[in-house]
């Protein structure tokens, strides 16, 4: 889901072009002249861009005196581009970013030190991160959008973090059922049904996706960004849990079989060199009240470790008490410090596994 920054902020840094028309922001520390060998790449959620993830400033401060640099890439799906993109395109671009950052750090060090790279997804960025880890490498060719082009081979990462991995489908369902200040639940149910019917009928036209009416999609919490029929069906996944679409990775009603097809194949893909850290926000406003967070994490843990290899990071994973979706509220200092402590503790484990 989309997140919003709690305040306007700034941070010194360097913008790198890591691929054609794609850039990544590196947080820098003017008083720290020593090169940092390792990198944490944070991938934002729907509508996020540079510095829009609220807890990034706290995380940057926590990493200042460590061996880790903080990076945030702009993807084609950043800001209002998410409605015209898909997870497959995101992970291709993330792979390019990982490759660039690793090579940049190795060249900067020049002493044979091995540079570690960890990817951290926030919100829908967690879908990108899981997609990166469990999908075949390279990705299968999409006959509609790829035009026969072959995908890039994604580089393995040294660690991976899912932060606020909420279900977009359940978040939208909750909005529809509760209604909003301006639209009743009955009206939203009608709008949702209309959009699903429209999207299923108009998914493609002459090889191109179709944009759904913004005056309808904006009422479902999807901001005012243009949404294609294909991405709408992926985010809302109306035939779930029996037939979940690409974006439906974190819903609480998904079957064990679905979890085994996603979390459960991380080990065999060999794209994650250490363990998976999962940080679920205790007071996430995009998680419906009916979701049992602890039970959901237990199911994900069981699926992740099903291969017999312990892939789930037990020490630091869990529900972060008092944390909202992006931890951007003024009264969330303790939750932000908790999140930063879990992340920095995990990064130490990546460098020096116990």
Question: Is 201 in the same domain as 229?
Answer: yes
> How confident is the model over 113-164, as pLDDT tens digits?
789 999 999 999 999 999 999 999 999 887 776 666 778 999 999 999 999 9
Residue 354 has a pLDDT of 61
Structure tokens of 310? 């312990």
pLDDT at 7 over 70: no
CA distance 92 to 96: 6
Contact yes or no for 95/154 (Cβ under 8 A): yes
Instruction: Tell me the mean pLDDT in the region 205-211.
Output: 75
**22, containing H or E segment:** strand 22-27
Residue 1 lies in a domain: no
Residue 221 has a pLDDT of 83
Question: Is 341 in the same domain as 230?
Answer: no
* Residue that finishes a domain, picked among 214, 236, 258: 236
Structure tokens of 268? 């065999």
> How confident is the model over 213-247, as pLDDT tens digits?
999 999 998 878 999 999 999 999 999 999 999 99
Question: Is 254 in the same domain as 189?
Answer: no
Residue 2 lies in a domain: no
Q: With CA atoms as reference, report the closest residue to 250 among 186, 304, 182.
A: 304
pLDDT at 293 over 70: yes
Residue 4 lies in a domain: no
Q: With CA atoms as reference, report the closest residue to 37 among 103, 110, 105, 120.
A: 105
* Residue that finishes a domain, picked among 236, 262, 282: 236
Residue 35 has a pLDDT of 85
What is residue 112's DSSP assignment?
S
pTM strictly above 0.85 = yes
CA distance 129 to 125: 6
* Percent of the chain whose predicted confidence (pLDDT) is above 90: 82
Question: Is 89 in the same domain as 111?
Answer: yes
Question: Is 327 in the same domain as 201?
Answer: no
Residue 189 lies in a domain: yes
SS3 state of residue 276:
strand
Q: What is the CATH number of the domain that holds 80?
A: 3.40.50.1820
Residue 142 has a pLDDT of 77
CA distance 332 to 334: 5
Question: Is 44 in the same domain as 143?
Answer: yes
Contact yes or no for 151/158 (Cβ under 8 A): no
**350, containing H or E segment:** helix 333-351
Residue 5 has a pLDDT of 45
More reliable by pLDDT, 114 or 333: 333
Question: Is 270 in the same domain as 314?
Answer: yes
Residue 320 lies in a domain: yes
Residue 328 lies in a domain: yes
pLDDT at 2 over 80: no
CA dihedral 197, 199, 204, 205 (to 10 degrees): 70
> How confident is the model over 100-112, as pLDDT tens digits?
999 999 998 877 7
Give the least confident one: 171-185, 201-215, 279-293, 319-333.
201-215
Structure tokens of 205? 């036209």
Question: Is 159 in the same domain as 191?
Answer: no
Residue 11 has a pLDDT of 84
Structure tokens of 265? 């194949």
CA distance 334 to 46: 25
* Residue that finishes a domain, picked among 185, 208, 236: 236
Question: Is 217 in the same domain as 175?
Answer: yes
Question: Is 130 in the same domain as 231?
Answer: no
CA distance 336 to 292: 22
pLDDT at 257 over 50: yes
Residue 64 lies in a domain: yes
> How confident is the model over 70-87, as pLDDT tens digits?
999 999 999 999 999 999
Q: Is 207 exposed, middle or buried (0-12, 13-18, 19+ CB in 10 A)?
A: exposed
What is residue 158's DSSP assignment?
S
Number of separate domains in the chain: 2
Domain around 219? 170-236
Question: Is 265 in the same domain as 316?
Answer: yes
SS3 state of residue 9:
coil
Residue 8 lies in a domain: no
Structure tokens of 17? 């072009």
Question: Is 160 in the same domain as 211?
Answer: no
> How confident is the model over 310-327, as pLDDT tens digits?
999 999 999 999 999 999
SS3 state of residue 188:
helix
Instruction: Tell me the mean pLDDT in the region 271-291.
Output: 97
Residue 150 has a pLDDT of 75
> How confident is the model over 17-59, as pLDDT tens digits?
999 999 999 999 887 778 899 999 999 999 999 989 999 999 9
**59, containing H or E segment:** helix 56-63
């Amino acid at each position: 889901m989309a997140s919003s920054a709690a305040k306007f902020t700034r941070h010194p840094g360097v913008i790198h072009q890591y691929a054609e028309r794609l850039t990544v922001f590196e947080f820098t520390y003017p008083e720290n002249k020593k090169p940092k060998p390792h990198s944490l790449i944070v991938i934002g959620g729907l509508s996020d861009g540079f510095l829009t993830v609220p807890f990034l400033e706290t995380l940057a401060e926590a990493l200042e005196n460590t061996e880790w640099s903080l990076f945030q890439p702009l993807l084609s799906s950043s800001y209002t581009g998410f409605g015209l993109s898909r997870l497959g395109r995101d992970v291709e671009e993330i792979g390019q970013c990982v490759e660039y950052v690793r090579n940049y750090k190795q060249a900067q060090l020049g002493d044979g030190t091995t540079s570690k790279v960890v990817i951290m997804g926030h919100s829908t960025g967690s879908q990108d991160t899981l997609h990166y880890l469990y999908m075949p490498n390279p990705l299968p060719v999409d006959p509609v959008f790829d035009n026969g082009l072959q995908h890039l081979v994604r580089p393995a990462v040294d660690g991976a973090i899912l932060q606020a991995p909420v279900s977009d489908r359940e978040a939208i369902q909750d909005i529809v059922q509760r209604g909003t200040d301006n639209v009743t639940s009955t009206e939203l149910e009608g709008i949702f049904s209309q959009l699903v019917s429209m999207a299923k009928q108009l998914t493609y036209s002459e090889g191109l996706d179709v944009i759904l009416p913004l005056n309808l999609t904006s009422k479902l919490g999807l901001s005012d960004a243009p949404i294609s029929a294909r991405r709408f069906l992926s985010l809302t996944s109306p035939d779930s849990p029996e037939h979940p679409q690409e974006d439906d990775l974190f819903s609480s009603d998904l079957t064990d079989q679905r979890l085994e097809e996603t979390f459960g194949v991380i080990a065999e893909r060999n794209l994650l060199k250490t363990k998976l850290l999962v940080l679920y926000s205790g007071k996430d406003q995009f998680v419906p009240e009916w979701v049992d967070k602890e039970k959901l994490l237990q199911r994900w843990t069981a699926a992740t470790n099903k291969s017999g290899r312990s892939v789930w990071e037990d020490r630091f994973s869990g529900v972060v008490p008092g944390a909202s979706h992006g931890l951007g509220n003024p009264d969330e200092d303790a939750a932000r410090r908790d999140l930063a402590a879990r992340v920095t503790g995990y990064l130490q484990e990546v460098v020096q596994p116990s």
